[in-house]
Structure 1
Amino acid sequence: MSSWREERRRDNAAEAEQRRLSEEHRAKLRREERRKDREEKRDDKKEQRRDRAQRRQARAARREKTLTPGNVYRKGTLFLVALSALASLPAQVLHFVAIHWMLFPIGPAVEGAAWVMAAGVAYADERKLPVWVRWLLRGLSLSAAAFAANINYQYGLSLTEHGVSPGNAQVAGLGLAAVTLGGPLFFEVRQWVLTLTTSTADPKKQAETKARAKHEKRRGKKFKDVADRQQQLLLAAPFGTLKPEDAWARAWWDVKGAPVSVTADVIADRLDAEADVSAVLAYAEKTPERLAVELFLADVFGPEGGDGGSTGALSGKPSGGPRDGTSKGRTALGGKGKRPDRSTAETEPQKPLSEADLEAVRKLAGALGGTERLSARNVREAIGCRNEYALRLRDAVRAEKKD
């Protein structure tokens, strides 16, 4: 009996423990559900706050976009135009209806003509029509508006017949005439502003376009023969197949015979400068050691033509560059900026200066306005000689002037 009771107590204790665990589990589940509910509500509130913030930002963006000076001006002008039409049209209708009821369409027709012509000006600006078309439409629009304004003014003065004082009637007439003319004028000014705004939308691009046009004009004026040849190439080629710059490069080569910006005079001046530099470098390299070696070689092997290499070596004069008509001129490398071979040129005799050539150079200096204007190029062109001989003639005439 005692064992049964003991077993019963254990069963009751186990059931009580099971009930306690079940209650704790259910309490834990309820707490977890309440926590999840709170988190969901918190997330919903955050989502609602985010949505409200996004809507506020969207409204602010729309408001900012709508209230820009450009939009306010465009929409405000249209609003004023609508008000002017509403104020002027009834007076037009009443004026003509008072004459006869069948004249009712005249008022809207006159008022509408002014607005249709004003819209035509905007359409002409959009399509880039000739200027005379725009001014014709403007004249028609303002003529219709002026006619309607005169009718409204007369209608305002006629209000004295309905008990309005003369002063107030005149004010009414002036007001009706002002709004009748003001509507088309406001619309026209609006169109001018929009057209100017479109043309100056990209000032950097506009400045570049102006600079390019100025460059093309100056280049065509400076090199007219090349510009004419460029136009021939562009007209001869199929439309759009030849770029203007490519046509200019080809035209320059056809006319000048050289790449762009290079001419025969430029090449001649370059060769003259290279010859002068070669002569100066040759003179600068005559160090005492070099002269001693040249004298030693002359003593051992003898002079190489002329009246002795040692004399030429000791003269101390520049010996680079061409000599005369019978000697070697500028070598192939010398013409390209390379120093000519002076191993034989330094010992060759120089052609004596002719008195006739000197006299010709003196006359050339007189024609140019002084010996300082003499150059190897113009002396060479006047005499028809090599560059080295021209340099000697120029230096001789300059020396005479100094003496």
Structure 2
Amino acid sequence: MSSWREERRRDNAAEAEERRKTQAFQAQLRRDERRELGKEKRDEKAQRRRERAQRRQARAARREKNLTPGNVYRKGTLGLVTLSALASLPAQVLHFVAIHWMLFPIGPAVEGAAWVMAAGVAYADERKLPAWVRWLLRGLSLSAAGFAANINYQYGLSLTDHGVSAGNAQVAGLGLAAVTLGGPLFFEVRQWVLTLTASTTDPKKRAEEKARAKHEKQRRNTFKAVADRQKQLLLAAPFGTLTPEDAWTRAWWDIEGAPLGVTADVIADRLDAESDVSAVLAHAEQTPERIAVELLLADLFGPNGGGDGGGSGTAAGKPSGGPRGGTPKSRTALGGKGKGPDRSTTDTEPQKPLAEADLKAVRKLAEALGGTDRLSARNVREAVGCRNEYALRLRDAVRTEKKD
């Protein structure tokens, strides 16, 4: 019995513990739900605050955009023009209706003609029509407005028949005439301002277009034959398949027979210049690099260093008559313009022995350069002032001495 009771107590305790855990779990769930619900509400409030701030910013941006001087001027002018039309049109209608009721459309027609012609000026500016079209439309608009202004002035003076004093009737007539003329005039001034504003909006683009037009005009005036050929190519090709620049390049080749910018005279002048330069270099064998090496060697060995290789054509010292090295004795006169020296005699001469002075100069050059492996036919030729074949022999001889 006691064991049964003990077992029962353990079961009750286990059930109580289970109920406690279940209640704690449910309480935790309720707390989590409340926290989640509170977070959602806070997020919704924050989102509503952000949306209100965005709407305020959008309204402020719209106000700022609408209240710019340009918008105020454009919209204000249109409002003023509308008021002018509303003030002048009734007087015209009453004037013609007083004559006969069938004349009612004349007033709106005259007033409308002035406004339609003014709108035509704006359209002509937008489409960049010729200037005479714009001035014709302006003349028609002002003529219709002037006719309507005269009618309104006469109507204002006729108010004396309705008990208005003569002075007030004249003021009314002048006011009606002013608003009748002022509306189209204000609209025309508005159009002028907008046109000038559009032309100055992008000055860089306008300057580029002007420079491009000037370049095109000068190119066509200078190369008329090429321009005519370009026109032929553009007309011969299907529309849109050939660009003007490609057509100009092909036209240049057809007329001048050379790449763009090159003519027969340019090629002839270039060949003459290259021939002159080749002749001078072949005679003097002077280059900027050679002059720099000569100055270096003069500093290293002194103006009297080296020796004379005799027939080998050496000249280690700096001659008084020109740059170091002078003109070797082995060189002959040029065979002609643009041709190198005539080697027919020197190439058949037997090899002459290496001069000791030349070998000494090359050894010093190797020491200055940091080793014989740095010797080359060119720097030996520059140091000694001899032909390439003699320089090669000097270089090989010094290298052989170093190995031995």
TM-score by length of 2: 0.65
CA distance in 2, matches of 1:31, 1:236: 86
CA distance in 1, matches of 2:229, 2:80: 57
The equivalent residue for 1:49 is 49
**Deviation sequence 1:357-380 (CA, Å, 0-9, x none):** xxxxxxxxxxxxxxxxxxxxxxxx
The equivalent residue for 2:299 is none
| Pairing 1:116–2:116 present | yes
Where does 1:219-368 land on structure 2 (aligned, <5 Å)? 219-285=219-285, 292-293=311-312, 319-320=333-334, 322=336, 330=338, 340-344=340-344
CA distance in 2, matches of 1:313, 1:344: 16
Structure 2 unaligned segments of length 5 or more: list them: 287-293, 295-306, 315-326, 348-404
| Pairing 1:100–2:100 present | yes
1:52, distance to aligned residue in structure 2 (A): 1.0
In terms of mean alpha carbon deviation, does 94-103 or 177-186 score higher? 94-103
In terms of mean alpha carbon deviation, does 224-233 or 42-51 score higher? 224-233
Where does 1:170-181 land on structure 2 (aligned, <5 Å)? 170-181=170-181
Paired AA for residue 142 in structure 1: L
The equivalent residue for 2:88 is 88
* Percent identity (aligned): 77
The answer on whether the counterparts of 2:282 and 2:341 sit within 8 Å (CA) in structure 1 is no
The answer on whether the counterparts of 2:311 and 2:329 sit within 8 Å (CA) in structure 1 is no
The equivalent residue for 2:381 is none
Paired AA for residue 282 in structure 1: A
Structure 1 unaligned segments of length 5 or more: list them: 296-311, 323-328, 335-339, 348-403
The answer on whether the counterparts of 1:93 and 1:104 sit within 8 Å (CA) in structure 2 is yes
Pair 1:2–1:120, CA change in 2 (3 A):
same
SS at match of 1:343: coil
The answer on whether the counterparts of 1:229 and 1:251 sit within 8 Å (CA) in structure 2 is yes
CA distance in 2, matches of 1:70, 1:143: 29
Pair 1:341–1:46, CA change in 2 (3 A):
same
CA distance in 2, matches of 1:315, 1:121: 87
Paired AA for residue 157 in structure 1: L
In terms of mean alpha carbon deviation, does 10-19 or 175-184 score higher? 10-19
The equivalent residue for 2:154 is 154
CA distance in 1, matches of 2:8, 2:208: 106
| Pairing 1:137–2:151 present | no
CA distance in 1, matches of 2:188, 2:257: 56
Pair 1:22–1:156, CA change in 2 (3 A):
same
Paired AA for residue 146 in structure 1: G
CA distance in 1, matches of 2:190, 2:126: 14
1:42, distance to aligned residue in structure 2 (A): 1.0
CA distance in 1, matches of 2:268, 2:95: 88
1:115, distance to aligned residue in structure 2 (A): 1.4
The answer on whether the counterparts of 1:78 and 1:187 sit within 8 Å (CA) in structure 2 is yes
Pair 1:212–1:201, CA change in 2 (3 A):
same
Pair 1:291–1:61, CA change in 2 (3 A):
farther
The answer on whether the counterparts of 1:146 and 1:181 sit within 8 Å (CA) in structure 2 is yes
1:82, distance to aligned residue in structure 2 (A): 1.0
1:216, distance to aligned residue in structure 2 (A): 1.6
Paired AA for residue 244 in structure 1: P
1:45, distance to aligned residue in structure 2 (A): 0.7
SS at match of 2:343: helix
Residues paired across the two proteins, number: 316
Pair 1:344–1:37, CA change in 2 (3 A):
same
SS at match of 1:242: coil
CA distance in 2, matches of 1:257, 1:6: 121
In terms of mean alpha carbon deviation, does 190-199 or 42-51 score higher? 190-199
The equivalent residue for 1:305 is none
The answer on whether the counterparts of 1:157 and 1:173 sit within 8 Å (CA) in structure 2 is yes
The equivalent residue for 2:297 is none
The answer on whether the counterparts of 1:320 and 1:345 sit within 8 Å (CA) in structure 2 is no
Pair 1:16–1:147, CA change in 2 (3 A):
same
CA distance in 2, matches of 1:8, 1:346: 133
The answer on whether the counterparts of 2:283 and 2:341 sit within 8 Å (CA) in structure 1 is no
Where does 1:70-89 land on structure 2 (aligned, <5 Å)? 70-89=70-89
1:180, distance to aligned residue in structure 2 (A): 0.8
Paired AA for residue 81 in structure 1: V
Paired AA for residue 253 in structure 1: W
Pair 1:32–1:232, CA change in 2 (3 A):
closer
Paired AA for residue 47 in structure 1: Q
**Deviation sequence 1:53-111 (CA, Å, 0-9, x none):** 22223323333333344333332222111111111111112222333333322221211
Pair 1:265–1:37, CA change in 2 (3 A):
closer
1:210, distance to aligned residue in structure 2 (A): 1.6
In terms of mean alpha carbon deviation, does 36-45 or 251-260 score higher? 251-260
RMSD: 3.8
Paired AA for residue 173 in structure 1: G
Pair 1:213–1:290, CA change in 2 (3 A):
farther
The answer on whether the counterparts of 1:291 and 1:313 sit within 8 Å (CA) in structure 2 is no
Pair 1:210–1:289, CA change in 2 (3 A):
farther
The equivalent residue for 1:169 is 169
1:173, distance to aligned residue in structure 2 (A): 2.1
CA distance in 2, matches of 1:3, 1:243: 110
Pair 1:228–1:15, CA change in 2 (3 A):
closer
